[in-house]
A and B are shown apart, each in its own frame.
Chain A
Amino acid sequence: MANKNRPDGTGETGRGNQHDAEIRDDDLERRRRELEASLATRLPNRLEGKDAKPVTGYGQALKLSSEFIAGIVVGVGLGWFLDRVAGTSPWGLIIGVMLGFGAAILNVLRSAGVVAEFGQGGKPREPKE
């Protein structure tokens, strides 16, 4: 580090000459690391904030409704499929609707961040550092 940034021997000070001087690789590397470190203190908050609350109410509405619809569609689909295969009509459909409704509510609550994520005990999703 020291030998790469040695003075040029002209005895001049100030910005003028420094500006022309070739920018050393390790100097650049150091500056890049510093920049990344200072950026890293802000970046997770920004990303997490975007993830937790979408920018528009419209986006939030589409997000939650798609979760809800998906849960019910899959529940009904599975129930209907079981009925077709096992010939238990209409019980598969009835139970499928109910379970699907439960899964849909779970999806919505999860996506709103008030219920634990998959496989994470009783605590809601924690912000990633």
Chain B
Amino acid sequence: MAADKVDPIHQFHIIKLIPIKIGSYDVSFTNSALFMVATVIVAAAFLYLTTSSRSLVPGRLQSVSEMAYEFVGNMLRDAAGTQGMRFFPLVFSLFMFVLVANLLGLIPYFFTITSHIIVTFGLAILVIGTVIVYGFMKHGLGFLKLFVPHGVPIYLMPLVVAIEVISFVSRPVSLSVRLFANMLAGHITLKVFSGFVVSLSALGAVGIAGSVLPLAMAVALTALELLVAFLQAYVFAVLTCMYLNDALHPSH
């Protein structure tokens, strides 16, 4: 019994559910893939079912859907103007995907897909790819003005442009690192404190009495994680809007 120590990292292990191999590539259906599918199904089913009645005075669930819609819509309009609304489907999908994935991850024994940096990095690449492709499509080479600040002396230009380019390229990295780090750190903390409850209560009566403290902490952390889950989805969507704004208006 004492042998199975509480391992806070164990929850992030990728398990192959259905091993698939195409050529030399491993495209197995893993628990991560399973929860991505679950996230999409939950988000789509929720939106579809809650809005299917389309009553003028919304019920509780319908108003949740409408709030999500207006929340993202206003966010996008504030950050990128009415022109930005053409990206609404992208931003709304990203927001709902990240939000539902974060919230599903809070359920015990569920896998948190956003705690893997490759998933968040994939989402960030999607965003920055959209920005670059749309920016060049709309403005042509004028998009490159993004990297040239006004009023910089000509002899400093190469240095400044190099730094601006690196700063631009680092955006998807920081976007993905932020979401990933928040989810990873939160879930490890939660697991460690819950682990204290188990290992303390193995010590007998005194331990059980003492384990109330980490238990209370775990409850409080769960509430905090709920907030973080929402906040990180919000931050991800807001930054997406800001980056799309750069694609729409490279030089204000």
At the interface, is chain A mostly helix, strand, loop or mixed? helix
Q: Could you mark each residue 87-129 of chain A with 1 if its beta carbon is under 8 Å from any beta carbon of chain B, else 0?
A: 0000000000001101110110010000010111110000010
Closest to A96 in B: B166
Distance from B176 Cβ to chain A, minimum over Cβ atoms (Å): 9
Which residue of A43, A103, A121 has the most chain B CB atoms within 10 A of its CB atom?
A103
Known A59-B231, A62-B181; judge A118-B170 contact (CB<8 A): no
Residues of chain B in range 154-175 having any CB-CB distance to chain A below 8 Å: 159, 162-164, 166-171, 173-174
Which residue of B147, B150, B159, B162 has the most chain A CB atoms within 10 A of its CB atom?
B162
Does B74 contact A43, Cβ atoms closer than 8 Å? yes
Contacts of A103 in B (CB 8 A): 163-164, 166-167, 170
Interface range on chain B (Cβ under 8 Å from partner) = 35 or more
Does A118 contact B146, Cβ atoms closer than 8 Å? yes
Interface range on chain A (Cβ under 8 Å from partner) = 35 or more
Does B164 contact A99, Cβ atoms closer than 8 Å? no
Binds A, one of B28-36, B200-208, B244-252: B244-252
Distance from B80 Cβ to chain A, minimum over Cβ atoms (Å): 9
A119 and B251 CA atoms in complex are apart in Å by: 5
Distance from A64 Cβ to chain B, minimum over Cβ atoms (Å): 10
Contacts of B75 in A (CB 8 A): 47
Does B146 contact A106, Cβ atoms closer than 8 Å? no
Closest to A129 in B: B78
A58 and B238 CA atoms in complex are apart in Å by: 19
Question: Does B177 make an interface contact (CB < 8 A)?
Answer: yes
A47 and B76 CA atoms in complex are apart in Å by: 11
Question: Does B149 make an interface contact (CB < 8 A)?
Answer: yes
Partner of B181, one of A43, A66, A78, A107: A66
A71 and B172 CA atoms in complex are apart in Å by: 10
Residues of chain A in range 32-80 having any CB-CB distance to chain B below 8 Å: 43-44, 47, 50-51, 54-55, 59, 62-63, 66-67, 69-71, 73-75, 78
Does A78 contact B164, Cβ atoms closer than 8 Å? no
Does B151 contact A119, Cβ atoms closer than 8 Å? no
Does B252 contact A78, Cβ atoms closer than 8 Å? no
Closest to A104 in B: B170
Question: Does B191 make an interface contact (CB < 8 A)?
Answer: no
Contacts of B182 in A (CB 8 A): 59, 62
Which residue of A28, A118, A120 has the most chain B CB atoms within 10 A of its CB atom?
A118
A50 and B145 CA atoms in complex are apart in Å by: 30
Contacts of B79 in A (CB 8 A): 128
Closest to B150 in A: A121
Partner of B178, one of A66, A116, A119: A66
Contacts of A116 in B (CB 8 A): 149
Contacts of B177 in A (CB 8 A): 66, 69-70
A44 and B79 CA atoms in complex are apart in Å by: 10
Closest to B172 in A: A70
Does B151 contact A74, Cβ atoms closer than 8 Å? no
A interface list, Cβ under 8 A from B? 28, 43-44, 47, 50-51, 54-55, 59, 62-63, 66-67, 69-71, 73-75, 78, 99-100, 102-104, 106-107, 110, 116, 118-122, 128
